[in-house]
Structure 1
Amino acid sequence: MKRNILSAIIFLSLSSSITHAQIVDKKNLIEKNAQLEKIADGFGFTEGPAVSRLGDVYFSDQPNNRIIKWSFFTNKTEVFMEDAGRSNGMFMDREGNIIACADENNQLWSIDDKGNKTVLLEAYQGKKLNGPNDLYITPSGTMYITDPLYKREYWTRDAVSEQNGEHLYLLSADRLQFMRVDDKLVKPNGIVGTYDGKTLYVADIGAEKVYKYDIIEDGFLTNREVFINRGSDGMTIDYRGNLYLTGADGVKIYNRKGEEIGHIPIPEKWTANVVFAGPDRKTLFITASEGIYKIRMKVYGTY
């Protein structure tokens, strides 16, 4: 009993310190006097925010197997889709479809504005994928998809990889070519690219590194290098090229040189993902465990 009481005291103390931790903004990226605002809570675990052309956000509530829509103009949420394939990472394509990493059955889905789904991928060379986790779509339409292996309680299959590892994949803009573009990763997770489609960042959460790549002709990757020696869950980027990483310590911001220039503490156990939202893409929208948050920025996102 004493141990339980002590654990509770430690947890409350940590929660309090997280709640009262100060925002760090070394480069004036955050709007003056802006405060972190909790939009809503009570979700199972929030992930995968994808931004519509109007600036609204679709995000996944994975344990409850649904996709939720947050309206920028009303600041309210509503259920967009049930039976959402346990969607994790998501991204909006040029046609306004949600591309979702539906790892319930190792698939990649395209979901239209009515909630109708089309399965785009579920295997590589005839073998099941591990469970697509996150993706990024370049301005030209090329998709990059991370495929780590996370054992899920809801899987009815054996949690054994049919692939020979956990890799990074490319799906061509015409969706006719699907190939591996990096097979030297431990557990790839978050992924994002620059607005010009020339640079890609991939978080290898298993190796505690974020890698940087040059994107060349036909989407192939070259010049892989370690951008920073820390992992991340979801990621986003602003027009200056600053990278926003997530995890146990909220949102950390790094400039193009890999120097930490900002920190937005989030009062949750885990911060899973982040994206720029709103018509002007200046609202930083954050998914974190059971809640979703926002804060106004001076800088804007690029997709």
Structure 2
Amino acid sequence: MNMNRIFSLLCLSFLILFTPAFAQMDVKKSLVAKNVELVKVGDGYGFTEGPAVDREGNIFFTDQPNNKIYQWKFGTGEIIEFTDASGRANGLYFTREGDLLACADMDNQLWSFDKEGKSKVLIESFKGNKLNGPNDLWVNPRGGIYLTDPLYERKYWERDPAMQQDGNHLYYLGSDGFQFFRVDENLVKPNGIVGSPDGTKLYVADIGAKKTYVYDIEEDGYLTNRQVFVEMGSDGMTIDNRGNLYLTGDGVTIFNNKGDKIGHIPVDEKWTANVCFGAGDRKTLFITASEAVYTLQMKVRGVW
């Protein structure tokens, strides 16, 4: 090997070692705003999850071990407590009417909060048995709710920790609030979930199978044509206006709408649980990661 070749390799190694991690990826120039870095905007929580954006662009997120939901105000950067009785909420999502839906894991239910923080139970069982532990959800443009229900045993449960249903399934609650049925009974451990802006595609991460699936959504809420989108599971997920899918776990991994990996955003925490877009222009990527929450300014925008 000649000296010029050796020198080039040494220079490349130096760049890899001393360049900020997320700047190494082509995601920085194609998706991330210019000259920005990941910013920690809050810490000291038990475990953060479930970010959801309201109509104005504020982000609500959960601290599940401490039974709380917080609100991040994008205009000021302030984080305030929304409720200290969240039902041990995990995933969150806003309805078109502005109510906050919560996967209330304390009693394995689906809750709804009004703007004042008053809660009510929407779903408490399926065929006479409790759910395993509602985890994440997505609301389609017609108002129907898709819900993942994996079993993760919680220390705070007073009930039998055994599986309550006959498996870890994916459910659908119709917009009328009465039709509640399973739409996939062949998943190992469904977790993160999001749909396309036009309501025709549903993405579901099966973290147990280490896969993320894509389905066609029918008008009645049923799903057809399940296919493997990527060979990677995820905790939470979101989608941007270009159709790119953001998966979590080891930081945030981004795939285009064909399933090709186009970038990775490292997060210096034990686990990156969930992600969504917020702020008035929906160009702030908000990340919940273990005991902290982060933001990153993007070129692309969220669609919800």
- 1:9 aligns to what? none
Structure 2 unpaired stretches of 5+: 1-16
Match of 2:137 in 1: 135
Equivalent position of 1:12 in the other structure: none
Question: How far apart are 1:133 and its partner, in Å?
Answer: 0.2
What do the CA deviations read for 1:117-162 (whole angstroms, capped 9, x no partner)?
0100011111110010000001111100000000000001111122
Whole-Å Cα distance in 2 between the matches of residues 239 and 138 of structure 1? 16
Tell me the SS of whatever aligns to 2:220.
helix
Q: Distance in 1 between matches of 2:219 and 2:66?
A: 40
Q: Distance in 1 between matches of 2:124 and 2:20?
A: 44
**Displacement of 1:207:** 0.4
Which residue number corresponds to residue 60 of structure 1? 62
- Cα root mean square deviation, aligned: 1.2
Summarize deviations over 1:188-242 as a string: whole Å, max 9, x none.
0000001000000000000000000000121110000000111100000001110
Alignment-derived partner of residue 190 in structure 1: 192
**Bigger mean CA offset, 222-231 vs 27-36:** 27-36
Q: Equivalents in 2 of 1:288, 1:67: separation in Å?
A: 15
Spell out the pairing of 1:5-44 with structure 2 (5 A cutoff): 20-23=20-23, 24-26=25-27, 28-44=30-46
Q: Secondary structure at the match of 2:276?
A: strand
CA distance in 2 between counterparts of 1:228 and 1:260 reads: 9
Residue 251 in 1 paired to residue 252 in 2? yes
Cα shift readout 1:243-295 (whole Å, capped 9, x = no counterpart): 00000x20000001111101111010100000000111110000000110001
Aligned AA for 1:237? I
Alignment of 1:1-303 (within 5 A): 20-23=20-23, 24-26=25-27, 28-247=30-249, 249-303=250-304
* SS class of match (1:279): coil
Equivalents in 2 of 1:174, 1:25: separation in Å?
44
SS in 2 for 1:48: strand
Supply the AA of the counterpart residue of 2:242.
R
TM-score scaled to structure 2, two decimals? Answer: 0.92
1:184 deviation in Å? 0.1
Pairwise CA distance, 1:21: 2.4
Return the alpha-carbon distance in structure 2 between the equivalents of residues 155 and 204 of structure 1.
24
Aligned length: 285
- For the residues of structure 2 that align with 1:200 and 1:101, how far apart are their CA atoms? 18
SS in 1 for 2:272: coil
Q: Aligned partner of 1:109: which letter?
A: W
What is the DSSP-based 3-state SS (H/G/I as helix, E as strand, rest coil) of the residue aligned with 1:240? coil
Alpha-carbon distance in structure 1 between the residues aligned to 2:263 and 2:94: 27
2-structure distance, mates of 1:28, 1:260:
13
CA distance in 2, matches of 1:262, 1:142: 32
The separation in 2 between residues aligned to 1:211 and 1:45, in whole angstroms, is 26
TM-score normalised by length of structure 1: 0.92
The code of the aligned residue for 2:288 comes to T
Find the aligned partners of 1:110 and 1:25 in 2 and give their Cα distance: 40
Q: Deviations over 1:23-57 (max 9, x none)?
A: 32346111111211110110110000111111001
Shift of 1:166: 0.4
The alpha carbon displacement at 1:20 in A equals 4.8
Moved over 3 A (4+): none
Identity of aligned residues (%): 60
Work out the CA distance in 1 between the residues paired with 2:170 and 2:26: 32
Cα deviation 1:80-106 (Å, max 9, x = unaligned)? 101210000000001111100001001
